[in-house]
Amino acid sequence: MTILASDYDPTLFGNDPWWLIVAKALFVFVFLLMIPLIGVYAERKLFAKMQMRIGPNRVGPKGLFQSAADGIKMAFKEGIIPAGVDKPIYVLAPIIAAVPAFMAFAVIPFGPEVSIFGHRTALQLTDMPVAVLYILAVTSVGVYGIVLAGWSSGSTYPLLGGLRSSAQVISYEIAMGLCFASVFLLAGTMSTSGIVGAQEDTWFVFALLPAFLIYCVAMVGETNRAPFDLPEAEGELVGGFHTEYSSLMFAMFMLAEYVNMGTVSALANTLFLGGWQAPWPISIWDGANSGWWPMLWFTIKVWIFLFVFFWLRAALPRLRYDQFMKIGWQVLIPIALVWVMVVAAVKAMRNEGYEVSTIALVCAGTALIVIVAALVWRASRGRGGAEPGGVPAMPAPFNPTAGGFPVPPLPGQQVPDAREPVGVAPARTSEENRHA
């Protein structure tokens, strides 16, 4: 018999025998450990392919054991703790960064109800009525590890990286939370298994396309990955918050980064892409959403998102920090607010008995995306615009040393010729000096 998503009930959780709970917890732990192990190798191979290089090819067949060799190397390297650090917090920070990344996966559904050694159980460690809020809260704790690492290092660049990360998480979690709100409104539940069940007929990526696109941008900013890897920008901050770390403590930061990538990818899959449900046309097969097959669909979807993470890092340059914050506060948050109001209006009309189909949400989302794209295109076209009479606007004069320290020009500003300094009075002649 096919187990449909609508048959899921959160009351099923908590009744498993202890050995089954331990087995599911170990499975989740191993699944997450495989993400950095495979992801590092896949990312380096992808970079090599895009840059016409070979990539890892020495350790094992075609370099398959390179990730394991790197992990062993970091484990056996000497751990150096610089003088002047706050040692208890310095040691605790990597743990705080890594542990929440694993905890968030506890409420992610891998599949429907199955039989394991005669026991019927859901392929999910646990669930709760506010499971998505639990994920949001736990992942927010992870930023404390980054902030404390920067502060406890007693160095300028790590401190700046930690402060950047805190500002980054605050700005992008607002947009992410608004995306969650639109999903809650449409699904009528905050339970992850319930949200997957609500997508049995239509995945939310179609009905909530603006929320999905905003979440995709916000999740890259949330994980500090390129092009939003500003807390560890090597061109400005050496290595950012983990500059003073080495050996296993450095490895824990890298582990937290890759596991967080897996967590946000699994969450995007759960909220917008039907979770473990098979994509069309595989879903036409009666057994596609029963048994152990859904775990395969879930894993494939997660790794598609991880590939996008790798691809972005290989293809896009790092943004300037003011540009990055402007995208979060002036673009993503206003659009997310407008979209939540649209979804709330549709939900209210349905509650009042009006027949508002999902097609209306799809059309509204498409219209919103078109309007935003037109505004962005117009703004980019008018950046070097002209005055009303058709005469090109002259850029404001730019003095790179006006504040006492040389700064790079902003977009639209021209750097003056070094032979014609700006803001410096011309030298007086000898005649002018006599009169002075």
Domain presence at residue 387:
no
pLDDT at 285: 84
Domain presence at residue 399:
no
Domain presence at residue 390:
no
pLDDT at 236: 76
Domain presence at residue 386:
no
| Domain tally, the chain | 1
pLDDT-derived band at 419, boundaries 50, 70, 90: low
Domain presence at residue 402:
no
Domain presence at residue 420:
no
Helices marked H in 51-155 — which ranges?
66-76, 87-103, 131-152
Domain presence at residue 424:
no
Average pLDDT over residues 29-41: 93
pLDDT at 319: 84
Lowest mean pLDDT among 80-89, 255-264, 316-325, 391-400: 391-400
Please give the biggest Cα pair distance in the chain. Answer: 105
Domain presence at residue 398:
no
Which residues constitute the domain of residue 89?
Answer: 5-379
pLDDT at 273: 93
Amino acid letter, 360? A
| Contact assessment for residue 253 and residue 242, using Cβ atoms and an 8 Å cutoff | yes
Residue (of 238, 226, 259, 215) closest to 94 by Cα position = 259
pLDDT-derived band at 192, boundaries 50, 70, 90: very high
Alpha carbon dihedral 251, 254, 256, 261, in 10-degree steps, equals -160
pLDDT at 412: 67
pLDDT over threshold 90, residue 142: no
pLDDT at 321: 82
Q: How far apart are the first and last CA of the chain?
A: 101
